Amino acid sequence: MINTDLMKPIELAVYNVLLDGGIHTRDDLFELCKPQAVRDVIKALKTKYGLLIHGRGKWYLDTRHILGDSKSRILATAEAKVRHSDNSLRIAKRESFRVSSEIENNKRRRAEWAELIGSPNTKAI
């Protein structure tokens, strides 16, 4: 079972709502999450507690967390962690590919700027 003693009150409130197994929209959870964004609370439940919460904008807790079977719950938690890690890896790869193109873009823009102002010193703006 999840140790709810460690949860912040907002996280605990959203967790308790999700335990009904139903689909919940941003609007359903908005009042519970104030002043935090609903998405941030859902993300915290996924990453800090390993809950497998499905959806984007409409969320529901994986039934393996609800059924009470510890083996199923452990499997759902492991699956959630793998999904989170896969997503983090995908984002890191995407951003690392962007670095070289942004370096070239920056060089090109600085050269255009230097030409316009007639100065070779374009280190600082």
Question: Is 125 within the bounds of a domain?
Answer: no
- Note the pLDDT of residue 82: 86
pTM, two decimal places: 0.59
- CATH number, domain of 36, equals 1.10.10
Question: Is 123 within the bounds of a domain?
Answer: no
Give the whole-angstrom CA distance, residue 75 versus residue 81. Answer: 10
User: What backbone torsions phi and psi does residue 121 show, to the nearest 5 degrees?
Assistant: -85, 100
Is 122's pLDDT higher than 60? no
Mean pLDDT to the nearest integer, 94-98: 85
Domains in the chain, number: 1
Percent of residues in the chain assigned helix, strand, coil, to nearest 5: 70, 5, 25
Q: Is the peptide bond before 9 cis (omega within 30 degrees of 0)?
A: no
Is 5's pLDDT higher than 80? no
Question: Is 74 within the bounds of a domain?
Answer: yes
Q: Indicate the average pLDDT of the chain.
A: 85
In eight-state DSSP terms, residue 25 is: E
Question: Is 72 within the bounds of a domain?
Answer: yes
Give the whole-angstrom CA distance, residue 18 versus residue 63. Answer: 10
Question: Is 122 within the bounds of a domain?
Answer: no
Residue 26: partners with Cβ closer than 8 Å, 6 or more residues away: 38, 39, 57, 58
Selection from 58, 42, 46 nearest residue 2 by Cα:
46
Domain limits at 88? 1-93
